[in-house]
Amino acid sequence: MKNKSEAPAFILASASPRRLVLLEQLGVYPDKVIPASIDETPQKGELPRKLAERLAQEKALAVAKESSDSFVLAADTVVGCGRRILPKAETDKEARFCLKLLSGRRHKVFGGICFIQPDGKSISRVSETVVQFKHMSDRDVETYIASGEWQGKAGGYAIQGLAAGYIKFIGGSYSNVVGLSLYDTMKILDGKILGKKV
């Protein structure tokens, strides 16, 4: 266990188990996981990219406010189809709406990342990935709905599961679609968390 006098704690401000697993791929193990409780409602006229950036920043700030002597990493994933922001599907109806909208067309997944240091300095990035589903038949949609893996997922799907079988094209960071761009995260943490004994 790390002594607080040795180095600041590293906090992941996210309830997502996927982000924790992705961080572990970089050899980074947060000292604490503290989900941030904020209002994630899009502002009037807000575009998907801006929403991802703002939510990541607000999550990081909310946790950093209570843990000012720590490193804090927060992230948020937003799926956009044109200017439309897709919901984090909580019902069959929402998931079905998302899948039918995304069927046969390209959309973008925006991953906002915000890292706040103990001195208050912050770094923000937005990763953008283009994803295209094949044309999904009604049977495809209902098969995926029955899987249940869409629950709570932005855009109504989880790329690391059954949905991968419906994806025709992906351009950009795969890990961004899962929940955290490892490329951008490594660039942010290098020399701060990575490469140090944490």
Largest CA distance in the chain: 58
* pTM for the predicted model, two decimal places: 0.91
Query: What per-residue confidence (pLDDT) applies to 198?
Result: 37
Spatial separation of the C-alpha atoms in residues 42 and 35, rounded to whole Å: 19
Is the pLDDT assigned to residue 150 strictly greater than 90? yes
* Confidence (pLDDT) at 92: 96
Using alpha carbons, list the distances in angstroms from residue 13 to 58, 64, 162.
10, 9, 27
Task: Encode pLDDT of 41-52 as tens digits.
Answer: 999 999 999 999
pLDDT at 23 over 60: yes
Please report the beta strands in 16-100, taking only residues with DSSP state E, as ranges in sequence order. Answer: 32-33, 71-81, 84-85
Residue 3 has pLDDT above 50, yes or no: no
Summarize pLDDT for 63-87 with one digit per residue, the tens: 999 988 999 999 999 999 999 999 9
Confidence of residue 6 (pLDDT cuts 50, 70, 90): low
Dist CA 81 CA 102 (whole Å): 8
Q: Write out the catalytic residue numbers.
A: 76
Whether the pLDDT of residue 167 is over 70: the answer is: yes
CA distance 75 to 77: 7
Give the model's pLDDT for residue 192.
79
pLDDT digits (tens, 9 = 90+) for 112-129: 999 999 999 999 999 999
> Is pLDDT at 1 greater than 80 in this prediction?
no
Angle at 177 between CA 43 and CA 127, to 5 degrees: 65
1 located within any domain: no
Domain tally, the chain: 1
Give the whole-angstrom CA distance, residue 181 versus residue 175.
5
Q: What is the DSSP letter of 194?
A: B
Cβ–Cβ < 8 Å for 96, 76: no
Q: What is the domain extent for residue 152? A: 10-189
| Residue among 5, 25, 128, 9 at smallest CA distance from 73 | 9
Could you tell me if residue 122 is inside a domain? yes
pLDDT of residue 191: 76
How far does Cα 1 stand from its chain's mean position? 28
Does the pLDDT value for residue 193 go beyond 90?
no
Please, what is the average pLDDT of the chain?
Answer: 93
d(Cα 48, Cα 45) in Å, to the nearest integer?
A: 10
Residue 198 lies in a domain: no
Q: Is residue 41 part of a domain?
A: yes
Q: Return the CATH number at 162.
A: 3.90.950.10
